[in-house]
Amino acid sequence: MNCTKCKTKAVIGLPRHNAAFCKDCFNDYVHDQVARAIKSQKMFGKDDRILVAVSGGKDSLAIWDILLKLGYRADALYVNLGIGTYSEESYRKVTKFADTVAASRGAKLLIHTVEEEEGAGIKELAQLIHRPTCSTCGTIKRYQFNRAAVEHDYDVMATGHNLDDEAARLLGNVLHWQEEYLDKQGPTLPASVEGFAKKVKPLYRLSERELAAYAVLNRIDYIVEECPMAKGARTLVYKEVLNRLETESPGTKQTFYWGFLDKQNKMTSTPATMTEKDQSTLHPCATCGQPTTAEVCSYCKMMARAKASASH
């Protein structure tokens, strides 16, 4: 199998594109896909300060690496969840990358430790408030990523969600007709009100397999294991279904998700209208001041319940 571009020996085949690439051409392909995502979705510019949400996994470390190589000013935030050896290992992966690759390009790493700031690890907090661990984790990470982006004056927050993630999420939302989530499932979520950071997903054009290959070929040391708290998550089932379809018909995920984005662009409101809609429903949390649709945001409600439960 030879490289589609330069005809030398290929290291990876991409059935959905009917192509194969050597290492250098594959890196060019990955960088081009991210650059096209950034430009087409108007995610950010060269002068913007970007905060990348990193977990120690291949996707988040890959997007940090790619943005730095493309010449963007990108720092990162790692939320240490306190999940035993899993968090210890992910912390090592993140700090290793930060101290070597990122530091050499002038980027820095911010760290938020849940056990120190919230008073207990994710699993313990979930038990205190009687909520699923993944739900508790999501609430904390969304809150802390947004808080850090706003408090440290970053223009935009980037996450490592890839094509597989977005296609699986779309499948779940369509199966349950969760219209409120479908409305905001695009790769760019604008900063609709003060205190709500702009959020982008520059990897939405790349598959999980492609990003794993990128990490290996570029010697990015990432944590391979899935979070132990994610067992039984519906998203994993949706991914498995889509993987079977992709095997039978390469390009299924791309057609499904990109097709949704095309329909969304034609049918939904303009960004300006969406901003006006958000401004009419969001207001500062009475406890912390971050935007929320209720009097008190979900994070502050959760922490109040945890504190009350712990005191009994």
Decide if 261 is inside a domain: yes
pLDDT for 210 equals 98
Decide if 289 is inside a domain: no
Give the distance from CA 65 to its chain's centroid: 14
Cβ-based neighbour number of residue 142 at 10 Å: 14
Give the domain extent around 141: 22-270
Which contacts of 39-48 are long-range, i.e. CB under 8 A and separated by 24 or more positions?
41/186, 41/187, 41/188, 41/200, 42/188, 43/156, 43/158, 43/187, 43/188, 43/200, 43/202, 44/72, 44/155, 44/156, 44/198, 44/200, 46/71, 46/72, 46/73, 47/73, 48/72, 48/73, 48/155, 48/156
Sorted by sequence, the CB contacts under 8 Å of residue 44 that are 6+ apart come out as 38, 50, 72, 155, 156, 198, 200
Q: Quote the pTM value.
A: 0.91
Decide if 76 is inside a domain: yes
Instruction: Name the helix (H) or strand (E) containing 78.
Output: strand 73-80
The residue ranges of the chain whose pLDDT is under 70 are 232, 268-280
pLDDT for 29 equals 98
DSSP one-letter code for 20: E
pLDDT for 271 equals 47
DSSP one-letter code for 9: B
Decide if 170 is inside a domain: yes
pLDDT for 215 equals 98
Q: Please report, for the domain that includes residue 63, its CATH number.
A: 3.40.50.620
pLDDT for 63 equals 98
Decide if 241 is inside a domain: yes
Decide if 8 is inside a domain: no
Decide if 106 is inside a domain: yes
pLDDT for 274 equals 46
Decide if 216 is inside a domain: yes
* 3-state percent breakdown (helix, strand, coil) of the chain, nearest 5: 55, 10, 35
Q: Is 179 helix (H, G, I), strand (E, B) or coil?
A: helix
Structural domains of the chain, count = 1
**Which tokens hold the place of 311?**
């005191």
